[in-house]
Structure 1
Amino acid sequence: MSELFQHRARKRFGQNFLKDSGIIDRILRSIHAVSTDHLLEIGPGQGALTEGLLASGALLDVIELDQDLIPLLKLRFGLNTLFHLHQGDALKFDIASLTKDEGEKLRVVGNLPYNISTPLIFHLLSHHHVIHDMHFMLQKEVVERMAADPGSSDWGRLTIMVQYFCQVEHLFNVPPECFTPAPKVDSAIVRLTPYQTLPYPAKSHQLLELVVREAFNQRRKTLRNTLKRLLSVDDIEKANVDSGLRPEQLTLAEFVRLADQLYINQHIEG
């Protein structure tokens, strides 16, 4: 077992290995995996959470990018028939390929590297239809952005797109000393639960992403300025949205109405 901990965390992979047993237990209790679950762990590292996840009796797929960790994970868990290891980049991995039966959904877990957390979450959201829930360790400020309310400085593109697809719960914070090496920032655990039925379904979530991205490119400006490439002032008003507001002042429902207005415009023109 001592060999396992000779691996040095790699800065280029954004690795910070969880070492605090109390926090590990608290995360596992939050996930509350059972034997009928199909789990996916992203970035298992040295297996701090992996052991507890397997103890639930659930089927566990893991995706690890760092080739040096592969033999260590195989040594520790390779004989367990519930454990399936995939070496590769989670950003490019076809998550849906892991589901074997129609209607099967994955429970996703990960201590996500801070340097790829946002693009990885967007990638996972694109597979929301095959995901039951997600539990992630992330930079605390990222979790605060996900759970933000309209009107706050944290309300932005990540908030809106995550809350469009998922219920967000900021579970608890994790201090730097719980990791090796200790990161320079606080971390937090978040639970994301994809909606069975979207509360504000857009006619096109791709157009919603476009409108949100365009709006927040210049978040200090009003909508009539930030969205002028996509929507006129009249279009914004047709969507029952005040064109004099700044993007951080809009609710998710209002952004969906703007995206739907853009959809209508495109189809009228088409």
Structure 2
Amino acid sequence: MNFFYTLNAKKLKQLSLILIISFFTAVFLYSGSLSILPVFSTEDGPKAIYKGEKGIALTFNVGWGDEKAEPILEELEKQDVDSATFFLSGAWAERHPELVEKIVKKGYEIGSLGYAYSDYSEMEEKEIRKDILKAQDVFQKLNIKDIKLLRVPTGHFDKKTLAVADKIGLTVVHWSVNSQDWRNPGVDEIIKNTSSSKKGDIILLHASDSAKQTKEALPSIIKELKGKGEFVTVSELIANGDTKTTLIP
């Protein structure tokens, strides 16, 4: 009889150990899945938007170059895309006022990419503020007075960046779908990278000269996505429904 109780106790301890290990493994995996979400916010403070509710937002970063932006504008017009958001660096806009004017005339939205395309995560708050405000001055001089959106250069940011942008009155916009077009992986790969997009997604594309294959990929991207939802600007996407964020670790 004692042997029976000893055996049962041993099995019970083993079962308890297995349950404890399983619990902590589940917690670890869940926590890990949270840590890879693609945007950040402070718990009670300013937030960065990476996804909306209705519509699909095509967004184009333009940081430098003289050749790729205009052909992409022409391709969007050819494909009857009336809504898109262009995040422009102040330095690029300063050198290309005629293209900035063309973006505005075509009815596309303009957001800020800062001025000098610097990594904000490696800068002090006062430096971040100076770079953002320098870009805002450029846009003011180009008669663009209603910029409310900021995409952080390089995509790297933290709590201090969110705080600075919030004080200036800007909403930080990240993305939920990354085309990886700046890597020039091939037209088919860029199309594949955006093919899973759906309503509410903010898609990252580029119109800088480093992105050499974006224009060629656009017709197929647009054809694929037109069947999934209406193209909207980021501001329209934000206004149309709930937006999604997650916490900075």
* Superposition TM-score tier, normalisation by shorter sequence: 0.3 to 0.5
> Which is bigger in relative contact order (C-alpha 8 A, separation at least 6)?
2
The higher radius of gyration belongs to 2
More helix by share: 2
More strand by share: 1
